[in-house]
Amino acid sequence: MDDFASQIYSVVYQIPHGKVATYGDIAQMAGFPRYARQVGKLMASLPKDTQLPWHRVINAKGCISLTGEGLIRQRERLQAEGIEISEAGKLSLRRYRWMHDTDA
DNA sequence: AGCCTGACTCCTA
DNA sequence: CTAGGAGCCAGGC
C-alpha cells in the first residue's frame, strides 16, 4: 500500500462518530496539502465492505460529492449518525466539521 | 509532450 | 447563497 493511501486511511479512520471532514482537510492532516482530488480517487477505490468511515468525508461546500445511489447511501449513513442533512446531501459544515485540534 | 477527466478547492461577482 | 473561472494532482489516451 502506498504511503499516501496509508496516511489518508489513518486520518479518515480517526473521524469521530457524528462528525465529518472535507477532502482537503484530510489531505492536509495526512501531510499532503492540495491532494483533495487524490483523496476522492482513493475513496472511489474503496471496497464496498470497508470498515473505513468514508461516508464522513465530504467536499468543502459541505455536501456529498457523489450522485445517484452513492449519494443516497452516504446520506443515509450520515443521518444514522444523527446528522441533519438535506435531500441533496448538504449539511451544516459549521456544525459537523471535525476539527483535529479543537474537537475529538 | 499535449489534452481530457475526476468522491476537489479557492476567489470573485 | 448560487455561478463562473482558474488552480490543483495523478492517471489514461
What does the pLDDT average to over A77-98? 96
Ordered by start, the domain boundaries in chain A are: 3-96
Render pLDDT for A89-102 as a digit per residue (tens, 0 to 9). 999 999 999 975 55
Cα gap A101→A104, rounded to integer Å: 7
pLDDT class of A60 with cuts at 50, 70, 90: very high
Beta bridge partners of A97: A20
What does the pLDDT average to over A70-86? 96
Whether A38 sits with its Cβ under 7 A from any strand C atom: the answer reads yes
DSSP string, A19-39: -BEEHHHHHHHTT-TT-HHHH
pLDDT on residue A99: 77
| Nearest residue by alpha-carbon distance to C1' of C7 | A34
pLDDT on residue A100: 58
Q: Radius of gyration (Cα) for chain A, nearest Å?
A: 13
Name the nt closest to A90 by C-alpha to C1': C1
The integer distance in angstroms from the CA atom of A46 to the C1' atom of B6 is: 16
CB atoms within 10 A of CB A19: 18
Q: Which three cell numbers stand for residue A81?
A: 449518525
Render pLDDT for A2-59 as a digit per residue (tens, 0 to 9). 999 999 999 999 999 999 999 999 999 999 999 999 999 999 999 999 999 999 999 9
Q: CA-CA-CA-CA torsion for A79, A8, A11, A86, nearest 10 degrees?
A: -20
Q: Is domain A3-96 in CATH 3.30.390.50, yes or no? A: no
